[in-house]
Structure 1
Amino acid sequence: MLRRYVCGAMSQLPQDLAFAALHIEGFALGAPESVTTDLRCTLEHTAGPHQDIVRPLPDDSAVWAEWVGDEPPEALRVRLDCPFTDDEPGGTGDGCSQYKAHPGGHTWQVIDVLHAAVEAMAPEILRGAGYGLPDDTATP
C-alpha cells in the first residue's frame, strides 16, 4: 500500500495577519488564543502554496493562511470546511480537518509524521516526567 504524507512545511503568521484573523468581518471578535501563529502545512501536495488553518469559525468555515516557499503568509482566506467524513468500514467517523475542495487526501488518508512521532513518544516522556503512567514493560 502506498503511504501518503502531509507536506509539513512551516511558517510563522505575521502579527498583522494574526490581528486580522481576530477581526474577520461578520464574526465575533476572536480570543487571541484562538489564532494559530506557528503554521505547518497539513495538505498532501507536491506543488502549489502551503496552507494551514489559523482560526476556526462557528459556521463550518475557518480562516486559512497561504504561503509559498520560505516566504511568510501575505493574506488570509475564509474557506468552508471539507464536508467529508471517514465513513468507510472500520473508519472513525471523524470529519476531514481541511477546507472544501482541498488538494490531496483527507486527514484520515494521510500520515502526519511529526504528529505520529510525538504521539509515539508521549507516554515515555510523561512517564519520565513523573506523571505516574504505568510502565508497559514491567512484569507483575
Structure 2
Amino acid sequence: MSKQSKYETHIAPRLAEIKAWRAERISIPDIAKKLSVGLSTLNQERYRPELEEALKAPELTEKEKQKQIQNAIINHKKYFNSTLSFVRRHADASERLKIVKTLIENVDDSKEIDDIKKLVEEHKKS
C-alpha cells in the first residue's frame, strides 16, 4: 500500500471547513497552518478543482468594495507624488527625457499632444 499524500490526509477531508474559513475571510497562509501543511504544499495542490473552489475568496461587501476603491485612490496619489519627487530631485537629463518620451508614446489624444506642445512653448518663453 502506498503512502497517502498530505492532500489525502490533511486537505481533502477538510474541504468544507476550508470553504467556511474562506467565507470568514481567513487568509490562505492561516488556512495552511490550520491544516498543518506548508503554504507551498497547499499551493501545489491548487490544481485540484475542488480545492481551488474551496479556496476562492468570498465576494466583497459594498463596504469592502468602497474601502478597496479608497485604498486604490490613496495608493495612486502616493505613487504619483513619489514619482514627481523622484523627477524633481533625482532624475538626470537622460532620465527626464526617457520619462517624457514614455509619456508621449502613451498619449492617444491629439488634444493632449497639443497641450504638451503648449507647455513646452511656454517653458521656452520663461
TM-score, normalization by structure 1? 0.27
Query: Which structure's residues are more often helix, by fraction?
Result: 2
The structure number with the bigger radius of gyration is 2
Query: Which structure's residues are more often strand, by fraction?
Result: 1
